[in-house]
Amino acid sequence: MKIAVRRTYLGDRLCFPEIVPGLLVDIQAIHAHQLTAGGAHREDAIARSQREIAPDLPALLQADPGLTTVRKAHEHAMAAAELGDLPVDCLWSAEPGALGPPIGRPGTVWGMTGNYPRTRSGPVEKPPNPTGFLKAAGSLAGPHDDVRYPSVSRRVDPELELGVVIGRRARRLSPDSAMRAVAGYVAFVDISARDIAELDNRKMDRGKGFDTFGVVGPWFVTADEIPDPHRLRIRFSVNGELRQDGSTAEMFHSVPAQLAWLTSALTLAPGDVLSTGTPPGVSSIRPGDTLRGEIEGLGVIASSVIAD
Q: Which domains are assigned to the chain?
A: 2-94 (no CATH), 101-307 (3.90.850.10)
This prediction has a pTM of: 0.95
**Contact, 274 vs 262, CB < 8 A?**
yes
The residue type at 109: V
Q: Is the separation of the CB atoms in 159 and 189 below 8 Å?
A: yes
Hey, CA dihedral for 14, 17, 22, 23, is it positive or negative?
A: negative
Residue ranges, the chain, pLDDT below 50: none
Identify the pLDDT of residue 193: 93
Q: With contact defined as beta carbons under 8 Å apart, do 204 and 133 qualify? A: yes
Is residue 308 within 8 A of residue 149, CB to CB? The reply is yes
C-alpha dihedral, 164 to 166 to 172 to 177, nearest 10°: -80
Beta strand residue intervals within the chain, DSSP E:
2-6, 13-20, 23-26, 91-93, 99-100, 109-113, 131-134, 140-141, 147-149, 156-166, 182-193, 214-222, 233-238, 241-247, 273-275, 290-295, 299-307
Helix (H) or strand (E) holding 34: helix 27-37
Degrees (nearest 5) of the Cα angle 76, 82, 87?
65
On whether the CB atoms of residues 298 and 186 are closer than 8 A, the answer is yes
The strand pair at 233-238 and 99-100 is best described as unpaired
* pLDDT, position 201: 63
The secondary structure element, H or E, covering residue 47 is: helix 42-52
Residues recorded for the chain: 308
Query: What's residue 243's pLDDT?
Result: 95
